[in-house]
Amino acid sequence: MKQPRNLDRSDRKPFFRFIKRILRCFVKKPKVIGLESDFQDGAIYICNHVGATAPLKLELYFPRRFRFWGTYEMTFSFKERWKYLAHVYFYQKKHNSKFVSLIKATLACPFIGMFYKGMNLIPTYADARILGTIHQSVEYLNDNNSIVIFPENSSDGYHDVLTEYYAGFLFLAKHYHRQTKKKIRIYNMYYCKKSNSLFYDASFTIDQLLKDGRNIREIANDFKDRANDLAKVSYHQV
Identify whether 95 is part of a domain: no
Q: Where are the alpha helices (DSSP H) in the chain?
A: 14-23, 53-61, 78-84, 98-119, 130-141, 168-180, 206-210, 216-236
What does R_g of the chain's alpha carbons equal in angstroms?
17
Identify whether 113 is part of a domain: no
Please write the tens of the pLDDT for every residue from 196-211: 999 999 999 999 999 8
Cα–Cα nearest to 50, from 152, 171, 201:
152
The proportion of the chain whose per-residue pLDDT surpasses 90, expressed as a percent, equals 79
Identify whether 69 is part of a domain: yes
Identify whether 138 is part of a domain: yes
Question: What is the dihedral angle through the alpha carbons of 197, 147, 145, 81, rounded to the nearest 10 degrees?
Answer: -100
Identify whether 14 is part of a domain: no
Identify whether 16 is part of a domain: no
Instruction: Check residue 123 and give its pLDDT.
Output: 95
Please write the tens of the pLDDT for every residue from 32-41: 998 777 889 9
The CA distance from 203 to 180, in Å, is 19
Identify whether 5 is part of a domain: no
Range of the domain at 157: 28-73+120-236
Does the structure show a pLDDT above 90 at 69?
yes
The CA distance from 127 to 24, in Å, is 37
The CA distance from 98 to 77, in Å, is 22
Buried b (16+ CB within 10 A) or exposed e, 209-233: bbeeeeebeebbeebbebbbebbee
Identify whether 161 is part of a domain: yes
Q: How many domains are contained in the chain?
A: 1
The CA distance from 124 to 151, in Å, is 11
